[in-house]
């Protein structure tokens, strides 16, 4: 078979419509504003901004500073390397950050008043993350080490020897042997206390962890916090030993900062515990907890642990939402959080004593709330605006935009007008969706791009997306429709749970009913010229659709499973299919055959573009190869786009550009009049 050059698909794009609205080049030009970090006095915000260098095929990050009122915006760093993760010194004089200057990753700092940045740590290993102690001198740093290594230098020597070796073979004795897009290399993230008085040394406060199973003790610095008095460190580890591939149990530990035995604070909970966050007085530790072991999409409740007694109290048992980021108010009476909420991602204030939620910001996608005096600072985006920093008063009044990095770029784009709608879906439940008009729409009938989200416990809502941005389809002349089917988040836990064991049932029914409802409500949508597109679970659903309806003129399957049975043996996080399909396939084969796309290949007839990344260890690329093989053998028009350097997502700028060109070319070709 001849290899068809991917670039040939570019000529098929509908240039007139695409030129008016959002394009992939517009997205690549946007500056990406990072999470806010508020100064100790509540007056300033430090944050990172990513600029995309398309020629270099990567993003570059610099640090910025702005007043909470939006005044005095200035850039702190301007180097070709990446400067990220700003953290304020307790006295507010310095901003500490991670930098790749010099080729590695170390902690640097820069004076807020001006001057050159200076390197703080010079450890023999890359620093993966850090957090400062209240004394402003010591810090907790995350380092990848071999658990049996005596010193950091020992780990560095082993790394050097491995790099020089001509033998690249790997051997494993347990799962997980690879995860997401990385092969396990025998090293694990440990936490070390670093003291500037002993700059060449660091003391491991997590010794002995992960010695019998290749997994990381914690999920990142979001899972680590130092107590306000500096005497304790709270952190999260996965606590299932060699069963880590099929169990979801994590626990929150508390360890003395000066050394000593770590105490498991959540040993009685067999499911996920994460995001430990100390109250300002240090008496309480807020955590997020799931209750059902083995289920990664259970409701995330906020609990508080009394540090002195270790007693746990669930705060939000009555709130049917999953908490996101956790931030305490200065008086310790309120916890601010964000959550999926009816097709938006909203900000809430939770009363710690009663668990009562108060809605602060509803519409759009609002994340990472941070207290800044009498205001809450957060990042906000919508379907027609990338993330910028905003603030609101603690009672939800007086919303105010703080940064405007992309205002001029946004003004130059013709956006597709959008609105949310609802309909009666499967089981008689109310289901929500969105519809977007083509950019510059003036009337008539338009083709339909029908987008299907992944997860499957996820949501397509009022959110700016750099990989699946609905406005990119509106910009290419499509009416765009997306449905939050049964299994989606933000509509209560029962609605999310409804997809368990029913992947091709109620969700498929919702999608078909939702498209019907949109066609009936919006007569400008031409249902005879519709294309369906999806990734991950959405890719699975594309394969399921191909076997059950021919209502679409074209399909796009990105990183989707063809055979749920074989997918179990391919993937790395086994807890996911075991929960979703009711057990392991040799004991519960019916769970894997109930809604299996491979059993309906005989019905396939719709032209399909198949996309897959070679570094996708969640949905392995052989699933995409199998899908393409089936299509070709059946004589169905099809095309295979394979990225050898991408994982479950397409992240590199030039790859993203090609992805958009190929996808839009494919659906444009088959939805013409």
Distance CA 100, CA 107 (A): 9
> Which phi and psi (to 5°) does residue 586 adopt?
-80, -15
- Are 531 and 553 in contact by the 8 Å Cβ rule? The answer is yes
Q: Mind giving me the DSSP string for 171-229?
A: --SSS-SEETTEE--S-EEEEEEE-TTSTT--EESSTTTTSSSS--SSS-GGGEEE-TT
Give me the catalytic one of 48, 616, 621, 626.
616
Q: Is 465 a catalytic residue?
A: no
582-599 as b/e, with b when 16 or more CB fall inside 10 Å? Answer: beebeeeeebbebbbbbe
Dihedral (CA of 13, 17, 19, 23) sign: negative
- Are 576 and 564 in contact by the 8 Å Cβ rule? The answer is no
What is residue 633's three-state secondary structure?
helix
Q: Is 648 a catalytic residue?
A: yes
Q: How far is CA 239 from CA 233, 251, 285, 325, in A?
A: 17, 6, 20, 22
Q: Mind giving me the DSSP string for 347-385?
A: EEEEETTT--EEEEE-SSEEEEEEEETTEEEEEEEETTE
Tokens of 532: 């369906």
Q: Mind giving me the DSSP string for 537-591?
A: HHHHHHHHHHTT----SEEEEES--S-HHHHHHH-S-THHHHHHTTS-TTT-HHH
Long-range contacts of 234-240 (CB under 8 A, 24+ apart): 234/265, 234/276, 234/278, 234/285, 235/191, 235/206, 235/276, 236/273, 236/274, 236/275, 236/276, 237/206, 237/209, 237/210, 239/264, 240/213
- Are 563 and 626 in contact by the 8 Å Cβ rule? The answer is yes
CB atoms within 10 A of CB 12: 16
The conformational region for residue 159 under phi > 0 = left, psi -120 to 50 = alpha, else beta, is alpha
Q: Is 536 a catalytic residue?
A: yes
Three-state SS string over 61-81 comes to: EEEEEEECCCCCCEECCCCCC
Give me the catalytic one of 189, 536, 626, 656.
536
Name the DSSP class of 318: T
Give me the catalytic one of 488, 648, 656, 660.
648
Distance CA 379, CA 399 (A): 12
* Residue positions annotated with a catalytic role: 536, 616, 648
């Amino acid at each position: 078979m001849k290899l068809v050059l991917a670039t040939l698909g570019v000529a098929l794009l509908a240039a007139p419509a695409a030129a008016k609205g959002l394009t992939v080049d517009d997205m690549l030009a946007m500056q990406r504003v990072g999470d806010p970090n508020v100064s100790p006095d509540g007056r300033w915000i430090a944050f990172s901004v990513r600029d995309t260098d398309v020629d270099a095929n990567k993003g570059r990050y610099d640090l910025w500073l702005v007043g909470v009122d939006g005044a005095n915006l200035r850039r702190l760093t301007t180097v070709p390397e990446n400067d990220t993760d700003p953290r304020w010194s307790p006295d507010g004089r310095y901003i500490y950050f991670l930098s790749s200057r010099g080729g590695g990753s170390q902690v640097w700092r820069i004076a807020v008043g001006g001057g050159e940045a200076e390197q703080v740590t010079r450890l023999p290993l890359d620093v993966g993350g850090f957090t400062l102690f209240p004394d402003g001198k010591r810090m907790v740093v995350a380092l990848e080490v071999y658990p049996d290594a005596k010193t950091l230098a020992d780990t560095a020597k082993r790394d050097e020897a491995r790099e020089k070796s001509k033998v690249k073979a790997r051997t494993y004795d347990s799962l997980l042997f690879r995860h997401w897009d990385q092969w396990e290399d025998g090293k694990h993230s440990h936490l070390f206390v670093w003291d500037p008085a002993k700059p060449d040394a660091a003391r491991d406060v997590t010794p002995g962890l992960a010695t019998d199973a290749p997994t990381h003790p914690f999920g990142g610095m979001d899972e680590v916090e130092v107590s306000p008095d500096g005497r304790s460190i709270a952190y999260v580890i996965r606590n299932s030993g060699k069963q880590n591939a099929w169990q979801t149990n994590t626990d929150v530990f508390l360890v003395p900062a000066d050394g000593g035995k770590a105490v498991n604070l959540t040993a009685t909970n067999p499911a996920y515990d994460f995001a430990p966050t100390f109250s300002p007085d240090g008496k309480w530790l807020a955590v997020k907890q799931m209750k059902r072991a083995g289920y990664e999409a259970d409701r995330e409740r906020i609990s508080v642990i009394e540090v002195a007694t270790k007693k746990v109290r669930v705060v939000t048992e009555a709130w049917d939402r999953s908490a996101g980021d956790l931030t305490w108010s200065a008086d310790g009476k309120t916890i601010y959080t964000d959550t999926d909420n009816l097709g938006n991602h909203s900000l809430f204030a939770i009363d710690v004593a009663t668990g009562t939620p108060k809605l602060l910001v509803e519409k759009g996608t609002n994340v990472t709330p941070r207290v800044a005096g009498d205001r809450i600072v957060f990042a906000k985006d919508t379907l027609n605006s990338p993330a910028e920093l905003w603030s609101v008063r603690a009672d939800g009044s007086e919303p105010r935009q703080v940064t405007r990095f992309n205002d001029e770029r946004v003004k130059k784009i013709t956006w597709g007008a959008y609105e949310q709608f609802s309909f009666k879906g499967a089981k008689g439940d109310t289901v929500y969706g969105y519809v977007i008009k083509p950019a510059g729409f003036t009337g008539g009938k338009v083709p339909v791009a029908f987008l299907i989200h992944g997860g499957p416990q996820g949501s397509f809502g009022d959110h700016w997306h750099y990989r699946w941005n609905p406005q990119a389809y509106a910009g290419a002349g499509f009416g765009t429709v997306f449905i939050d089917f049964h299994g989606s988040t933000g509509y209560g836990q029962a609605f999310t749970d409804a997809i368990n064991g029913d992947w091709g049932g109620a969700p498929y029914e919702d999608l078909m009913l939702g498209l019907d409802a949109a066609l009936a409500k919006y007569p400008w949508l031409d249902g005879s010229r519709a294309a369906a597109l999806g990734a991950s679970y959405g890719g699975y659903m594309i394969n399921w659709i191909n076997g059950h309806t021919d209502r679409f003129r074209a399909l796009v399957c990105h990183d989707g499973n063809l055979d749920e049975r074989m997918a179990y043996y391919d993937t790395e996080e086994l807890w996911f299919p075991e929960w979703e399909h009711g057990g392991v396939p040799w004991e519960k084969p019916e769970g894997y055959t109930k809604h299996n796309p491979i059993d309906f290949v005989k019905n396939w007839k719709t032209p399909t573009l198949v996309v897959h990344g070679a570094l996708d260890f969640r949905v392995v690329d052989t699933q995409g190869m199998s899908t393409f093989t089936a299509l070709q053998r059946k004589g169905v028009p099809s095309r295979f786009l394979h990225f050898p350097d991408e994982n479950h997502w397409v992240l590199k700028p030039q790859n993203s550009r090609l992805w958009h060109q190929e996808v839009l070319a494919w659906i444009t070709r088959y939805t013409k009049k």
